[in-house]
A and B are shown apart, each in its own frame.
Chain A
Amino acid sequence: GESVGLHLPTLSVQEGDNSIINCAYSNSASDYFIWYKQESGKGPQFIIDIRSNMDKRQGQRVTVLLNKTVKHLSLQIAATQPGDSAVYFCAENGGGGTSYGKLTFGQGTILTVHP
């Protein structure tokens, strides 16, 4: 049949607001998680990562929260700016062994920041 594009979740915020982007991951063996930002026409760009032995990690204007009990990851962006408009992907590594380094990406969330 005819294929359809992914229907990505969208989040629209006003400049200066805080943004929260959520992600549910699937593999309970994953011990490393990472957030990427992809602007139109560009490759994914690293934002922040977290290992499974942590619940929270902070970067510059960004915070990642990990809840292993419900397999949930979130990215918080403080004081969101128009330049933050992009597609945001979470990714997991599926555990160690020979698959380490192999990232499984979520479907992505479109963030639009209005001036």
Chain B
Amino acid sequence: DSGVTQTPKHLITATGQRVTLRCSPRSGDLSVYWYQQSLDQGLQFLIQYYNGEERAKGNILERFSAQQFPDLHSELNLSSLELGDSALYFCASSVDPGSHTYEQYFGPGTRLTVT
């Protein structure tokens, strides 16, 4: 158990809908990262937040957005869903990206299926 929690574990929804994925980082970790893992693209970095502020962005679609709240939990919002958005979405956390290690602890993931 990494200490990172994600809800829900599974999500099935229809095209055009909007969903919110939730992540609670390890206790004490200030950074949260979101990744998408699909069969054809592998594990792709989406976005990073540090202590409530956006720190880095990957190839995140405009239909996707995220935020980190004062209690450090994070939410990833996916809207106007398409079939191709079906994937595993992982959240990871780390203490501080500027510390001596970049070790990120991954949650168990949310499996999103868009039908």
Contacts and interface: CB of A to CB of B under 8 A. Distances in A.
Interface in B23-80: 31, 33, 39-45, 48, 50, 55-56, 58
What DSSP secondary structure best describes chain A's contact surface?
A: loop
A70 interface: no
Given A5-B39, A6-B42, A49-B101, A102 B108 contact: no
Contacts, number: 74
Contact of B58 (A44, A49, A102, A108): A102
Contacts of B106: 36, 43-45
Question: In which size bucket is the chain B interface?
Answer: 20 to 34
Interface string B65-108: 00000000000000000001000001010100110011111111
Interface string A72-115: 00000000000000000100010000111111111110000000
Interface of A: 3-6, 32, 34, 36, 42-46, 49, 89, 93, 98-108
